[in-house]
Each structure stands twice: as C-alpha cells, then as structure tokens.
Amino acid sequence: MLYPLKFKPIFKTVVWGGEKIAPFKQVETSQEHIGESWELSGVPGNESVVADGPLAGKTIAELVKEYKGELIGKHVYASTGDEFPLLIKFIDAKSDLSIQVHPNDELAAVRHNGSKGKTEMWYVVGADEGAHLLAGLKESITPDEYAARVENGTITEVLANHPVHKGDVFFLPAGRIHAICGGCFIAEIQQTSDITYRIYDYGRLGLDGKPRQLHTELAKDAIDYKVYPDYLTKYTPAKGKEVEVVDCKYFTTSVYELDKPLAKDLSGVDSFLVVICTSGKGKINDITIHQGETVLIPASATEVSFIPDGPMTLLTSYIK
C-alpha cells in the first residue's frame, strides 16, 4: 500500500536568484544564487527522488511506471502515461527574471517532438515592499509590433505591471507573456514541461558571462495577443476551509488557512494530491510537514487529514 511521499528538493542556481530559499526550507546548502527549488518534478534529467521510507532513492518516474493509477489516478495515467504531470517549484527572485512565454500543447508538440506546453500558476508566498510582476498585455499589439518592441527595448511598456502581496494568485495559461520580478517569492504549479521562450532579458549576462539565448521569433507565434480586463485571480481567503483558486484542465488548486485539524474526503477523487506548505507546520496524516515542504498523497488514499501545529497555510493540487 502506498503512503504519502516526500522528495528531495532540486536546487537551481540562476543569475537572478536570491538567498531566501535555503532558510525558508530550513536546509543547509553552500550554493549561491539559488533561484528555484524544484519540489516535485518528472522532467527528464530533473526527476525528483523519494527522500525517506521504504521507497527512498526511487525517482517519481520509476514510481509512476510501477504503480500507475494507484499513484496518480487511473484517468490521469490514461492521459499522461508514465510521466508525472505536474511540476512544483519555489522561486526566489532577487532581481527580475527574463520576460518569457510558453507554447501551448499543440505548438509544443509540433516544435518539440511531441512535448507538452506549459500552463502554470503563481501563489505569492512572500513579497518585499514594492515588489511587482508582469503578466499579460495592457494594450493591443500586433506580432510585428511585438518584434519591433523587443528589438528597441520597449516591450515592457505594453505589459501589465502588478504590485504583489502575500497570498496573491496569478493564473498563466500558455501564451501569456509574463515575468517574475525582484522581491517576489513564489510557489509555482505547472504542467510538466521545461519549454520556455525567453523574449527579453534586459541585455543581462548569464552566470557564464555570456548573453543568455533569446527566442524572440519562436515566441512570436506562441503569444496570446488578446488584452484581458484583469490578470489577478480573485478569491476570498477563509479560515479553516478549502478555498479553490484555480480550476483548469491541467490542475485544480486550493488554498487552506488552518489553525485546527481538517479532513478531506478523497474517495471520489481519481487523482494524486500534491500538498505544499507555504507557512507554519503540522502533519499530513502521520507525515510531519514544515514550511517549504511538499508531500505527494497517492490516488489510492481515501482521506487526508491536515493537522496544524499553530497557523498553517497549505496549497493542494490535483487533476480532475
């Protein structure tokens, strides 16, 4: 019988990374510029490894292949096969990330040997005073205008700029231009894909001292040029209950702000459940969870209990 699983984080050193991830996750590391901690990943070459218990040392890919629907859900396995379908990250931006966009499934499949596209969401774990991010267009432009603005360095002038605060949620369907900016600490939930088209990078050099590769032309056909009335996902926080914040074909995500135990019935859910702790500590069933940790609940589970030790905030994601 499968049980809740923790995985070893995969730290990523990047030019824009800060110093918040290690203390947030209460881990020691000598790495500098850690910008990302991949909490749960099935991306080839970056597959998460079980941290402890009888399955310690096994990768998520090996588990999915062995346990199939028992681990991720029968309908999920029928759709995604041996690939774990979500990628979970913490992101610490000391400075602005590049402006980028991700292709949708159809475009990614054609251009990248059948790969998936990338729809994602952000939950703001913390934000420095004055922190902001970019998401979506604030005025209409054509593909040719886009290319010209990238060339002359004015692309940021047509992007929607959002001040951010702890608890903010942004849903980013494939095709939406976006960038996390300095001072943002983000939990990111996304499709299992590492395809990113970097549009603009402020002329910055990478850790190797060379300009980072841009994908201006590839992005041109991937961008959704529609202007939307609002890009912030509105929701009303509620103590002691589940609050659904995103519901799409790729994942359904909820926020829990708890100070008392709460049980969730999973008997009608044919999917795994990812639980991400963004503040506080407590238990998930019999597994201790702290701020900065992620637990995978197998699809075979019929119930999960959240038992906070003081105030605790959780994110959960599964596939309907």
Active site residues: 198
The beta strands (E) that lie in 19-59 are given as 34-40, 42-43, 46-47
Extended beta strands in 75-156, E state: 86-93, 99-101, 120-127, 132-137
What 3-state DSSP class applies to 21?
helix
Three-class secondary structure of residue 313 per DSSP: strand
The 10 Å CB-count burial string (b at 16+, else e) for 147-170 is bebbeeeebeebbbebebeebbbb
Residue 18: burial class (beta carbons within 10 Å; 0-12, 13-18, 19+)? buried
Task: Answer yes or no: are the C-beta atoms of 244 and 252 closer than 8 Å.
Answer: yes
In DSSP terms, 180 is beta-bridged to 133
Write phi, then psi, for 110 (nearest 5 degrees): -70, -45
Alpha-helical (H) ranges within 167-286 are 216-220
Residues whose CB is less than 8 angstroms from the CB of residue 62 and which lie 6 or more positions away in sequence, other chains included: none
- Under 8 Å CB-to-CB from 197, ≥6 apart: which residues? 100, 101, 102, 103, 215, 218, 219, 222
Q: In angstroms, rounded to a whole number, what is the distance separating the alpha carbons of residues 59 and 127?
A: 33
153 strand-pairing partners? none
Query: What's the rounded Cα separation, in Å, for the pair 96 and 184?
Result: 9
